[in-house]
Amino acid sequence: MSRRAADSMSPQMFGPESHPRFSTITDAFKHQVLTNPDSLAAVSLSAAHKFEEITYRALSNRAARLAVEMRRLGVRPGDRVPLVVKRGIHMLVGIIAVLSCGAQYAPLDGGVVPDSTLRFVVEHNCGGRGVVLAMGMTKHRLGEFRGLSVICIDEPCELSGDESLADDLVLENFAEPDTGCYIIYTSGDLGITTGTKVGQTLNISFDMDWNACIKEVRKEVKLDTAKADTKQIEVLICTPTILAKYEPQDYPKIKTVATAGEPTSQRLADKWAENKTYYNCCGPTETTIVNTMHNHVSGGPLTIGKPTPGNNVYILNENHELVRDGEPGVMWAGGLGVSKGYVGLPEKTAERYVPDLFLDMRSKTYNTGDLGKWLADGSIEILGRVDDQVKVKGFRVELDGVTASVNSCSVVDRGVVLFWGGEIHAFITPANADVDAVKTHLQTRQPYYAVPSHFNLLNELPVTPNGKIDKKLLKESASGTQTSVVEKPSSTADTTTPPSLEKQLSVTTETTLCEWSKSSSVSTSSSSFVDEKAGVVDLEAAVPDKTQSKTVRGIRHRVLIVYRQLFTLMALLNIATVIIVAFTGFQREAVGTITAVNLTIAVLMRQEFVINAIYTTTCSVPKSWPLWIRTRAARVFHLGGVHSGAGVSAALWMFANTAGDTACMALGTCNGHWGKLSLAAKIIAWIIAALFIAMLAMAYPSVRKAHHDKFEIFHRFVGWTLLGLFWAQVVLTAKDTKASDVSLGTAAVRTPSLWLLVVATLSVASSWFWLKKVPVKAEPLSKHAIRLHFDYTVPVNGSFTRLSHKPLLEWHSFATIPAPEAVDGNPKGYSLVVSNAGDWTRAMVENPSPKIWVRGVPTCGVMRIATLFNRVVIVATGSGIGPQLGHILNPSCPTKLLWSTKDPENTFGKPMCDLLKSKCPDAVIWDTRTQGRPDLVKMSYNLAKDFDAEAVIIIANEKITKKVVYGLETRGLSAYGAIWDS
């Protein structure tokens, strides 16, 4: 795309045209030496040199002598030279000398850089062999590198020949516009120490310090190094953290202030912009210091401004398309300021540096990782960072966005938020800031889960050697005070320094940290977001720890659930039966009867009328009865444990029967009726045993989940086959074991197994007795959901029905919504909601059938237990709202609703949402698309406690259901949700 085309599309993306007068920094410097040789070039106000100044001529001469020595030791254009010094005149000498050689310098503050970083940088740039510039006070740190040539900048260079006699040595310039300038090491976005190549364009290893080198520094000094003579400063460049240490009235000569490197605060910007020119700047190391700039007006909106001359900024979506004004996206930097890439990391360079799609494919753009949006005036509002996202109890939170909100509060000088221990901690200055005001401010700008749960008030924030907030130290302080942080109703706070922080500060030698430890007071205020309005529930309030040890609660609430207790009970009853049968001589007829008993129980536990009768009995327990009785009766939906226990027992008895008969024949030890079966009976017996084993294998939970459709078909047809084979087996067994004078009919009738088989067969067949195709009225809710109305029966609340287009092959269960009376033209009967969740439901939503197959009668499910309680909280995710609609529309007790779903109005329709709100005015309807994934355990707990609910009932997928039920039960609340054991 041409520049003109891009400009016409969005001119705000491009800074003003830039036409530099000089092609390299050294060219610019030499011009100053020639035109203003005796002008003051720099003034040092560092701690080591209370006052030192140098002219351009002297600076050039010292740099030239150093450059000669460097070239003599082998430094050539393109080489990289570590610069291990302290800030001051010597630093400038070293930088200019390196650049004049056409080399690149890698700056390190020799007073604070860790040994590991120093070692890495030296080895990375010269492999332990080469030239390193240092000072007398930092030279000793390079002693381990025997192959290095270490030049001390603050010691005179002994030159030979004519050069040793020259007072004004000419600075030779070997730099070219395309050669590198410096290497900055950072452990930022990439999570590793990387060197960023920067073309010629605080702590000396901080790229903001380059500003002081490329301008006339006579009137430009860093405040963090200034001591007695700082009153002369006219231009100040520093980080917001450094600036927050000072008051504008103390520096009347300062005319211009610029901050960058980290977010600033509204209060800080307003304070310095009131009577001075204040620039809020932004730009990562990879884009040569600054690529946007905002001339802030006190009281006005705080942004990072517009692209600077020669720089471009593109805000792109995830598809690398330009976003519209006001839409958030990732900021990409382009133009002349983009650096060359990462040293020795071609893959990372290729990932972050890509061809400029909007100007010239030969130039590069850099992915800054910052989130921002264009404002109407063409400036950019920073929103945080892509890599600064954290999960707070299931929600995605942009920490930089929360920090920006904190800093936009009028009572905050400087603030930062950190994520630690699963919670958000806010660190704020000044120490007397009104925490309640900060909370109120944040509640209008952030979702409740992004409001910090801990507020730490300080006089000053600790800083790193680069002048940025020392987040590591703050995080360590948060870790050290986690258990002592207390709930505070107001901003009044204790003024004590956290022990862990005090310890960290006492051992450091960094001036800023020592000063901070002496002057700062730290107070902590911990509280979750609490809406002070009466009746509003704090859903994000902290919940108590789980009761009992992890092992004990795991056994109690996960292993020994009622389902497994019932399964175990059936197993124990059968074990007891084995013992009884053993004492009576293992009669074959008894074994066959016990098999039939187990089979019949297993079948009955899946028969609709039996299920409804059990539910009706248990759910009729009066609400006046003790809660401990009602909570146990509510576990009725675990009755599947009886079905599974009986089914497995029937299979084992059948296998034992068949194996025992075969074994006694093989060993010749048969007695009674053992070993008298015909070949046909034996074959059928082994087929039954094999099919039983296959059915049990398919019913195993993990197999069933992975092959649910196949399980349903297999279970149905194999079950029918087994019934037929059992009939054949019973008849053949009666024939093979009857007395010669007894007819087959009489023998069969006298067999208990026959009558048990009759019961089992009728139980299975009964569901199909009510098979019919019924008319259905479809009510579209949205493109994703539909409501179907039926008029053939009125079910009880909390029941479900089965629907099918192909009765022999598939059945789909849906919760019913009883309609005792005709409403809004819909018939008396019931309705159900079908949402798009698969092929069958999608077809039903898009092309509803006028008639559909149903069978059996509506059967009770989990929601039926709501009638046992006086107050309940019901929780649903997605289409789980369907099973709860019956209770919501016709509640049996006071109810609170918590529904989490994606885009509810678009998915289920506005009328459905309005209906829910009309029935539950204070319902919590959580849109996961805009609000993120909720912590349903915490929200359910707080809602239930606030409502004084006797139970929580959840309808969701397996993972969420188990998590919520376990999370609530282990904290003392009664919780219920469907189970998935087969």
pLDDT digits (tens, 9 = 90+) for 604-662: 998 999 999 999 999 999 999 999 999 999 999 999 999 999 989 988 888 888 887 77
What was the pLDDT predicted at 672? 65
pLDDT bin (cut points 50, 70, 90) of residue 46 is low
Top-ranked range on mean pLDDT: pick from 127-141, 465-479, 960-974: 960-974
Helix axes 640-667, 679-699, angle to 10 degrees: 140
d(CA 768, CA 853): 11
pLDDT band at 128 (very low <50, low <70, confident <90, very high): low
Within a 10 A sphere around the Cβ of 2, how many other Cβ atoms? 10
Per-residue pLDDT, averaged over 494-523, amounts to 33
Give φ, ψ of 341 to 5 degrees: 135, -165
Joined together, the tokens standing for residue 105 give: 């310098």
**What is the pLDDT at residue 487?**
30
Residues 567-590, mean pLDDT to the nearest whole number: 87
Phi, psi of 927 (to 5 degrees): -90, 105
The full 3-state SS of 278-323, as one line of letters, equals EEEEECCHHHCCCCEEEEECCCCCCCCEEECCCEEEEEECCCCCEC
CA gap 556, 297 in Å, rounded = 63
Whether 228 has a pLDDT exceeding 60, the answer reads no
What's residue 482's pLDDT? Answer: 34
Asked if pLDDT for residue 193 goes beyond 60, the answer is no
pLDDT of 597 above 90: yes
pLDDT tens for residues 433-486? 999 899 888 887 777 778 888 888 888 888 876 677 888 888 776 665 432 222
* 303-311 mean pLDDT: 90
pLDDT at 519: 34
pLDDT band, very low/low/confident/very high, at 853 (cuts 50, 70, 90) = very high
pLDDT bracket for residue 401 (50, 70, 90): confident
DSSP H/E element including 812: strand 812-815
- Distance between alpha carbon 382 and the CA centroid of its chain, in Å? 21
pLDDT of 426 > 80? The answer is yes
Query: Residue type at 899?
Result: W
Rg of the chain, C-alpha, whole Å: 40
Q: Which two tokens stand for residue 705?
A: 């989940």
Instruction: Say how far apart CA 741 and CA 526 lie, in whole Å.
Output: 90
CA distance 391 to 932: 10
pLDDT (tens digit per residue) in 316-368? 988 888 888 888 889 999 888 888 888 878 888 888 888 888 876 678 888 88
Decide which of 157 and 298 is more confident: 298
Which pLDDT value is given to residue 215? Answer: 39
Q: Residue 497: pLDDT above 80?
A: no
Residue 261: the pLDDT is 79
**pLDDT at residue 345 in the model:** 81
The pLDDT value given to residue 675: 65
- Which residues, at least 6 apart from 740, have a Cβ–Cβ distance to it below 8 Å? none
pLDDT score recorded for residue 164: 47
Asked whether residue 82 carries a pLDDT value surpassing 70, the answer given is yes
**Tokens for 49?**
């040199």
Question: Of the candidates 554, 626, 615, 578, which has an alpha carbon nearest to the alpha carbon of residue 870?
Answer: 626
281-285, 383-387, 965-969: which is most confident? 965-969
Report the run of H or E that residue 381 belongs to, with start and end. strand 380-385
Instruction: Please determine, for residue 488, whether its predicted confidence score (pLDDT) is greater than 50.
Output: no
Q: Is 216 helix (H, G, I), strand (E, B) or coil?
A: coil
Asked if the model's pLDDT at residue 202 lies above 80, the reply is: no
Per-residue model confidence (pLDDT) at position 160:
52
By the 8 A CB rule, do 204 and 91 touch?
A: yes
Average pLDDT, the chain: 80
pLDDT at 535 over 60: no
pLDDT band at 931, cuts 50/70/90? confident
Query: Regarding predicted confidence, which is higher, 709 or 209?
Result: 709
pLDDT at position 129 is 74
Q: What is the pLDDT of residue 466?
A: 67
The pLDDT assigned to 618 comes to: 94
For residue 975, pLDDT beyond 90: yes
Mean pLDDT score, 214-243: 58
**Whether pLDDT at 223 is above 70:** no
Q: What is the pLDDT of residue 851?
A: 93
- Quick one: pLDDT at residue 673? 62
Asked if pLDDT for residue 530 goes beyond 60, the answer is no
DSSP conformation letters of 695-725: HHHHHSHHHHHHTHHHHHHHHHHHHHHHHHH
Region 744-758: what's the mean pLDDT?
87
Taking residues 704-710, report their average pLDDT. 77
Burial bucket for residue 4 (CB in 10 Å: 0-12, 13-18, 19+) = exposed
CB count in 10 Å sphere of residue 361: 11
Q: Is the pLDDT of residue 852 over 90?
A: yes
| Residue 195 pLDDT > 60 | no
Q: Residue range 205-224: average pLDDT?
A: 41
Determine the pLDDT at residue 981. 56
User: Greater confidence, 976 or 980?
Assistant: 976
Contact 677, 661 (CB under 8 A): yes
Residue with tokens 């009125």: 794
pLDDT given at position 541: 79
| Whether pLDDT at 431 is above 60 | yes
The predicted model gives 213-224 an average pLDDT of 38
Bridge-based pairing state of the strands 130-134 and 148-152: parallel
Structure tokens at 101: 């050689």
CA–CA distances in Å: residue 775 to residues 47, 138, 792, 851: 90, 90, 9, 4
Span of 23-37, 279-293, 492-506 with lowest mean pLDDT: 492-506
Q: How far does Cα 116 stand from its chain's mean position?
A: 32
Q: Give me the residue label for tokens 């009932």.
A: 953
What confidence score (pLDDT) does residue 61 get?
92
User: Does residue 91 contact residue 121 with C-beta atoms inside 8 Å?
Assistant: no
* Backbone phi, psi, residue 108, to 5°: -140, 135
Q: Summarize pLDDT for 231-281 with one digit per residue, the tens.
A: 667 888 888 878 888 888 888 888 999 998 778 888 899 999 998 999 999
Domains annotated on the chain, with CATH:
24-176 (3.40.50.980), 561-769 (no CATH), 772-860 (2.40.30.10), 866-977 (3.40.50.80)
Identify whether the C-beta of residue 964 lies closer than 8 Å to the C-beta of residue 877: no
Question: 186 or 734: which carries more pLDDT confidence?
Answer: 734
Contact assessment for residue 82 and residue 109, using Cβ atoms and an 8 Å cutoff: no
- Identify the pLDDT of residue 361: 62
DSSP string, 813-830: EEE-EEESS-BTTBPSEE
